[in-house]
Each structure stands twice: as C-alpha cells, then as structure tokens.
Amino acid sequence: MPYTTHESEESVVLEPASTADAAVIWLHGLGADGYDFVPIVDELRLPPTMSVRFIFPHARPRPVTINNGFVMRAWYDITSLGPDRKEDGEGIRESAAVVNDYIEQQNTRGVATERIVIAGFSQGGAIALQASLRYPKRLGGVMALSTYLPLNDTVAAEAAPANKDVPILMCHGLRDQMVPATLGKASRDLLMGLGYQVEWQSYPMEHQVCMEEVLDVSKWLQARLARNL
C-alpha cells in the first residue's frame, strides 16, 4: 500500500492512496517523536483493500524529572520508576485531551469513531489507555505496546460505558527493564478484572518492538479495521 507523507510541527501523517475510511493514532515513547514508528507501517503489510490513515503525533517538549529535568518530548513527567512513584496526573490528562482532539479531527475528515484505533508505545501506550477507556464514543480498538495503565485507581469511576467492550491488544517484552513485564501484566489483570477484553502477547525482547510483534499487530489491526466486502 503506497502512502503519501504529510509532515507538520504537530504530527506525521501517512495518507493511503484511496480515501481513508479508518485511522490509527499512534503515540511514541519518551524522548522520541512521531517519526519513530513511521517505518513500521510498511512492515505491517496491510492488504491494499484497507484504506487506513496513520497519524503519528509529536508530544510537546517538557522537563522530565527522572532525566534530571532535561527537556524532551514527553506525554507527561516521570518522577521515578518505583512502584510508589507519584504520577503526573495533570500531564497525563492533558495528553489524553490531545488524543481526543485527534479523534475529532478524524471525524471531521470522514472517519467514524468506531473505525479509529488508538495505539502507543511505552509512555504513548499509557496515554492510549488513559484516553481510550474514558472516551465517550465507541472506538475501534486500543493497542498498548510495552506499557502500563496510568491512574489505574480512577479507571473504574471514569470509564466510558461506550468503550467497556473495546478490544485491547497489549504486547510486552519479557526482558523489558524499562517497563517491566510484571507491570504490564498487572495492568492487564486489572483491566480484565474490570471486564475489559484484553489480548496479551509477550516476546523474548527488551523495551523495543520485534518482527513477531509487528506481525501480531498487523493481524489484530486487520481484524479490527478490515472491511467485510
């Protein structure tokens, strides 16, 4: 599938050759930018019958406490990596609102909400979960890679009924030292305990993406977004 690339200060967008009828909003990890996952789109090898627009937003630069206050692209601040860390609720909610804006932009461009998947890696995956579970209209799915559920003590109270059965794909490296797989599994278990449909895939890798995972992501996206012609 050939794509046309559109770049701006806010994002990188891959536009399919035919009019898009679905979209994937894909959020990068800490210190990266929207370009980070652009190369994966070709590797997904989606069938030509799928007209999916890929949107890769850039997080705004902000000081990150764990990196000595160094300013980098981040969806929220991280104060520490310990289990008792204080979460940046304001930053997390601010970035979730950015995702909401992107969803609405896609609506104005003719893509229905139920044809939109919210995806993210690491920090981006945390925001994907934060935004999607609270979004008031039914989404096509949530893809959370090498990540965890942020603000997990507020999910039950804030969850949107429209997305209580939204398909969730969680993938994680078993050797991940940045975001341990145990943290991802705990988030998975919490979500399943709340009644969410979570598909879990793990791989013998670190805090990264591998080809086996790319193939699983492709299969999952096709199941969510392919048209039954």
Residues 60-97 have pLDDT tens digits of 999 999 999 999 999 999 988 766 778 999 999 999 99
What separation in angstroms does the CA of 122 have from each of 25, 80, 146, 194? 15, 15, 5, 22
* Domain 3-225 sits in CATH 3.40.50.1820: yes
Q: Is position 11 annotated as part of the catalytic site?
A: no
What is the residue extent of each domain of the chain?
3-225
Residues 142-193 have pLDDT tens digits of 999 999 999 999 999 999 999 999 999 999 999 999 999 999 999 999 999 9
The single-letter DSSP state of residue 119 is: E
- Residue of 11, 51, 95, 122 marked active site: 122
- pLDDT for position 62: 97
Q: Is position 176 annotated as part of the catalytic site?
A: yes
- Residue of 21, 207, 216, 218 marked active site: 207
pTM value is: 0.97
E-only strand ranges, the chain: 3-7, 11-16, 22-27, 52-57, 61-64, 70-73, 116-121, 141-145, 167-173, 197-203
Q: Is position 207 annotated as part of the catalytic site?
A: yes
- Residue of 33, 77, 88, 176 marked active site: 176
